[in-house]
Structure 1
Amino acid sequence: MCTDRYVELMSTRDLLVDAAADLLQRKGYAGTGVSEVLSASATTKGSLYFHFPGGKEELAGEALRRRGEAMADFIRHLLESSPDAATAISAFAAALAARLSDSDYERGCALATATLDAATESEVIRGACADGYNSWLGLLAQRLEADGWSREDAESEAILALSALEGALVLARARQDPAPLHTSGRLLSERLRNAAPRR
């Protein structure tokens, strides 16, 4: 039976994870301090180490895992609600551009920022980021296969699309201009339509 105390503990854990995920998205792993997480989550250091004995690294790993899963859910929704992968990728690029501009260019991809500044130092961080990326690639490749691409080509096109969009997101954030995402989305969509296998 779930007690009120159990719910309270779970809520505190979620507050910590959500705060860490937001900070990682804006500042990366190196730029995110434990004190900032505690302030943003309105929790205590004791609570953090109760839920995450491994400290910042363990908390960040969980936050990145959840961000990866949330983005996978969003990608899955786009792929399932679009007539083809080309349309979904164009919609994905537009959504990324809107989210970035709505955040005043503060919130990029949490996995990208963490990968760039911590993947070589922490296996926990590298693993969480790799798992997230692999799930996104798998969803894209699966949809491309359903659209008639061979498995090998579907996997290659998924890698190209995700790499282009992640790079465009970084460029858009640096320039404070969503154009790289819109351009990448349009060109990727055109490429997939022009090269799509004939059924």
Structure 2
Amino acid sequence: MNTKSMIIDIATTLFQQKGYKGVGLTEILKACDISKGSLYHHFPNGKEELLIACLQSLNDFITREIVEIFKKYPTTEEATRATIDKLILDFETKGTITGYTFSSIVSEMASLSDPAREACANLYHKIQDIYFNKLLADGFEKEKASSIALMMTASIEGGMMLCLTEKATTPLKVISQVITNLLKEF
């Protein structure tokens, strides 16, 4: 792994665990075992540029994972259940869902940084598009598919945050069942 990728991986984890403001450059430098010059070589505009790179990396990782799962299953219902089951398994085995949720970064940075807000919005739109396209393939009308995709995105992201705050998988289990029932109704 090259230095830039290593910095992004470590900083992403730190940002998810402690938030943007909760992580100082000194902590990132120490965790990466690099000098300040090395960090600024890769991210000349500093910490915010690093955050944007972390969000883009999360974007790539999360959407790749969701796309892979959604390709494996013939229906939105099955793919959604498999996606949520993976999140639940990750939480049960690791005690966290790091790598999938970035709501803490959104809530902290959306009003402070347009580039960070836009990077987060881009990821939410990509996730929504994956759900939307699968719903269209299942025969849903565009307007209904769009509404359901938005609801799924918000519910799953919110469910992850609830799991983290409650230290339990119940929220995602309930959301999985509700989405499954909702999709069966249509």
Same fold (TM over 0.5): yes
Q: For the residues of structure 1 that align with 2:94 and 2:19, how far apart are their CA atoms?
A: 16
1:47 and 2:31 are equivalent in the alignment = no
Q: Runs (4+) of structure 1 moved beyond 6 Å?
A: none
Work out the percentage of aligned pairs sharing the same amino acid. 30
2:23 alignment partner AA: T
Given the alignment, which residue of 66, 70, 76 partners 2:61?
70
TM-score (norm 2): 0.94
Indicate the SS of the match to 2:147: helix
Q: Secondary structure at the match of 1:29?
A: coil
Contact persistence 1:29–1:117 (CA under 8 A):
yes
Q: In the alignment, which residue of structure 1 is the partner of 2:23?
A: 32
Q: Does 1:174 align with 2:168?
A: no
Kept in 2, the 8 Å contact 1:25–1:107? The answer is: yes
Alpha-carbon spacing, 1:111–1:105, altered in 2? closer, same or farther (3 Å):
closer
Task: Tell me: CA distance 1:92–1:172, structure 2 relative to 1, closer, same or farther (3 Å).
Answer: same
Q: How does 1:43-122 map to 2 (within 5 A)?
A: 43-105=34-96, 107=98, 109-122=100-113
Say whether the 8 Å CA contact 1:108–1:169 is kept in structure 2: no
- Counterpart in 1 of 2:150? 159
Q: Does 1:126 align with 2:92?
A: no
**Long gaps (5+) in structure 2:** none
Say if 1:21 and 1:110, in contact at 8 Å, map to a contact too: no
Please report how far the alpha carbon of residue 108 of structure 1 lies from its aligned counterpart in structure 2 after TM superposition.
6.8
Match of 1:148 among 110, 114, 139: 139
| Structure number with larger C-alpha Rg | 1
**Contact 2:92/2:169 (<8 A) preserved:** yes
RMSD: 1.5
Q: Work out whether residues 108 and 173 of structure 1, in 8 Å CA contact, stay in contact via their aligned partners in 2.
A: no
TM normalised by structure 1 equals 0.88
User: After superposition, where does 1:15-30 map in structure 2 within 5 Å?
Assistant: 15-30=6-21
CA contact 2:58–2:100 (8 Å) conserved in 1: no
**CA, structure 1 residues 27+110, in 2 after alignment: closer, same or farther (shift >3 Å)?**
farther
Q: How many aligned positions are there?
A: 186
With over 3 angstroms needed to count, the CA separation of the structure-2 counterparts of 1:16 and 1:108, relative to structure 1, is: closer
Q: 1:144 & 1:110 partners in 2: Cα distance?
A: 23
The secondary structure found in structure 1 opposite 2:173 is helix
- Structure 1 residue 143 displacement after superposition: 0.8
SS at structure 2 position matched to 1:177 = coil
